[in-house]
Amino acid sequence: MESQAPKSRFWSPDEDVKLVESLLDLYHEGRFCVDNNFKSGYLKVLETALETKLPGCGIKAKPHIESRIKTLKMQFRTLHDMLTGPNCRGFNWDPQRKIVTAEKAVWDAYIQSHRQAANFKNKAFPHYEDLCTIYGKDHATGRNAVAPADVVEKIERTRVNNGTEGKNLNLNGEDVRNDVDDNMAFSHTRQMHPKTSNSSSRKRGRDEDSEDSVESLKELAILIVREMKESSSRLSQAIGQEINDKQVGLNGELKKITSLTTVERLKATRLIARDNAALNVFYSLSDEDRKVWVKLFLSGEI
């Protein structure tokens, strides 16, 4: 019988941390993972894990955990679209402060069409990197990301190679032909007197050019969407593989710290591997600094 726990619940920051930690543990265990998601029954496992981490918390699989995970995933998708989506130019991720950064003009323009993003302006989202690991995605570092401007440049090169460089298509969908004189602008007077054969020829030429422009715009849109999907996939795979490689090699790196006992080394491996921020800090340090940092990390001083 389903629990009669109240449907609405305020989650404290510590409860969120423990929930995401438990999700990471479940993800690394692999027993409930399928296609960047979790199998049926995982909510009950999380309920048990949270009761262990937070005795007496009263957090139930349904509706508490189920509802909170939906909220976290929605927030994650909003940030992920900002950082890796088709309108990501100008946005960056600050891994120290755990916030999205951008110039004011970039924020203002983006929020006009993505109002939900306003909630993340100057607001930290500490679980973004962990949720990237869990759901098979990560933030754009600029190393493998492809910005819209780069895609358009690539498409322009393709169009030139295909012999269609006679037209310049701007992003508003307008067709601006290089061979049109300024005096050829359409006017009511000219439209009322198309009597000569030259005028008819020019009209047919304009109609053909218009049809070509529509087709070019269609091709441009298709190529942009395809390139964005491919670049997002490449980004996720590359970042995910980098994190996985660091996790796999972590125990070997910790073995080099001879002052650690076996228990300390195994504990450090488990704790650091499930914390992307700690993982990145560890690999950024020199061998000497790692010795001190790991001791401080295990003692909870950092």
Q: What residue segments make up the domains of the chain, in order of their start?
A: 13-134, 148-231, 256-299
Residue type, 90: G
Q: What pLDDT is stored for residue 65 in this prediction?
A: 94
The closest alpha carbon to 108, from 90, 134, 124, belongs to 90
CA dihedral of residues 181, 183, 189, 194 (deg, nearest 10): -40
DSSP structure class, residue 108? H
Q: What pLDDT is stored for residue 80 in this prediction?
A: 87
Q: Parallel, antiparallel, or unpaired: how do β-strands 92-94 and 99-101 relate? A: antiparallel
Cβ neighbors of 118 (< 8 A, separation 6 or more) are: 111
Give all strands (DSSP E) within 121-260, no chain letters. Answer: 167-169, 175-177
Element (H, E) at 209: helix 197-255
Distances in Å between the alpha carbon of 285 and those of 280, 282, 291, 292, 293? 9, 6, 10, 10, 9
Distances in Å between the alpha carbon of 291 and those of 249, 266, 272? 17, 15, 14
Q: Which residue has the tokens 């957090």?
A: 59
Q: What pLDDT is stored for residue 30 in this prediction?
A: 82
Q: Is-contact 140 232, C-beta < 8 A?
A: no
Q: Which residue has the tokens 């061979």?
A: 179
**Structure-token pair, residue 292:** 């001190």
SS percent in the chain: helix, strand, coil, step 5: 65, 5, 30
Each of the 302 residues of the chain gets a pLDDT tens digit; together they read 444 555 678 999 999 999 999 999 988 888 887 776 788 899 999 999 999 999 999 999 999 999 999 999 999 999 888 888 777 778 888 888 999 999 999 999 999 889 999 999 999 999 998 888 887 543 333 334 444 344 445 445 554 555 544 444 333 333 333 333 343 333 333 344 444 455 555 555 555 556 666 666 766 677 676 666 665 556 556 666 778 888 888 988 999 999 998 888 888 888 898 888 888 899 989 999 999 999 999 888 88
Q: What pLDDT is stored for residue 276 in this prediction?
A: 83
